[in-house]
Structure 1
Amino acid sequence: MGHRLNPTVALWGSPRRLVLAPRLQELALARTVEGEAREAIAVDKSIDKAVADLGRDIGDYIRQQRGNAQISLRQLAKLAGVSNPYLSQIERGLRRPSAEILQQIAKGLRISAEALYVQAGILEQRDGGALVDAVAADPDLTERQKQVLLDVYESFRRENAARLSTME
């Protein structure tokens, strides 16, 4: 009778190595999983840092707008319907306000909620955002005047963009 060759024994040499081979595979897999886990943790940390930076950015922006409006933290908290400590935590980047809270803060600051949404990363910046907001918020202009101003502005932007593209 002929002996059948066990491919694992042939590859690894001895029966003792036959027992070790699966363990080595487990260790290799564990190292791979550990490496992937470390990479995932690093990505999570960078995401957490980006979120924290975004929180500080919106907080700094709110503090700056509050200073421009010459409103105390206490006054803005009352106008926005939030507590002083909560608003302070937002300004220091410790809390991320919801869109609803941002809207209330914008109302208290008398600025557009869209401006806060852009700063918070909820909305993307649109072209001419600050100008459009200023025109839209001006109580001395009629709706027709606002639309004419925005149309003229947009036509100048298109004209300049076309001129720049022909220069390149």
Structure 2
Amino acid sequence: MGKLNMPDAVGSAMGSLGEYLRDQRTQAQMSLRQLAELADVSNPYLSQIERGLRKPSAEVLQQIAKALRISAESLYVRAGILDAEQSGAYLVEDVIDRDPRLTARQKAALRDIYRSFVGTADLEERP
């Protein structure tokens, strides 16, 4: 199978997204099949996304983010859907959410404190 012809910037963004997704899935100790099932996408489609061969829709990215328990915004930035400057607050919260040393209650408290400092209390609440 030949390589898909994509503009360099798009191909680079998709490769970066795929690598990021693979890293997040590995950190979550999930197999490709498990993530595909949780995100309600096919196993081959998810594999193509991870390899940078497919560009997922915002809806699919949201499903994947929910399954990985990370912010959809961090995936939108990686996919080039959202400007990184607009999503800085979400990326900080994503780092908080990924820290395995924190309990769910501690993560929620840190997100609340961060939001109060940067004035983003209106951001979507997460579990």
So what's the TM-score if we normalise by structure 1?
A: 0.55
Q: CA deviation at 1:79?
A: 0.4
- Structure 1 unaligned spans of 5+: 1-44, 156-168
User: Cα RMSD (Å) of the superposition?
Assistant: 2.9
Asked if 2 retains the 8 angstrom alpha-carbon contact of 1:54 and 1:120, the reply is: yes
Structure 2 CA distance, aligned partners of 1:50 and 1:91? Answer: 17
Q: Distance in 2 between matches of 1:115 and 1:145?
A: 18
Aligned positions of 1:45-124 closer than 5 A: 48-124=7-83
Change (3 A) 1:128 1:98: same
* Counterparts in 2 of 1:53 and 1:148: CA distance versus 1, 3 Å: closer
Shift of the 56–135 alpha-carbon distance from structure 1 to 2, 3 Å rule, reads closer
Supply the distance in 1 between the matched residues of 2:115 and 2:109 (Cα, whole angstroms): 10
In structure 1, the residue matched to 2:88 is: 127
Q: Check if 1:150 corresponds to 2:111.
A: no
Q: CA deviation at 1:49?
A: 1.5
Q: Which has the higher helix share?
A: 1
Deviation at 1:135, TM superposition (A): 5.8
Which residue does 1:158 correspond to in 2?
none
TM-score (norm 2): 0.71
| 1:44-97, Cα deviation, whole Å (9 max, x unpaired) | x8x711111111111111001000101000000000111111000000000000
Q: Say if 1:75 and 1:144 are closer, same or farther in 2 by CA, change over 3 A.
A: closer
Query: Number of aligned pairs?
Result: 109
Mapping for residues 8-27 of structure 1, pairs under 5 Å = none
Question: Residues 89 and 135 of structure 1: is their aligned pair in 2 closer, same or farther, counting only changes over 3 Å?
Answer: closer
Higher RCO, 1 vs 2 (CA within 8 Å, ≥6 residues apart): 2
Q: 1:136 to 1:70 in 2, by over 3 A?
A: closer
Distance verdict in 2 for CA 1:148–1:120, change over 3 Å: same
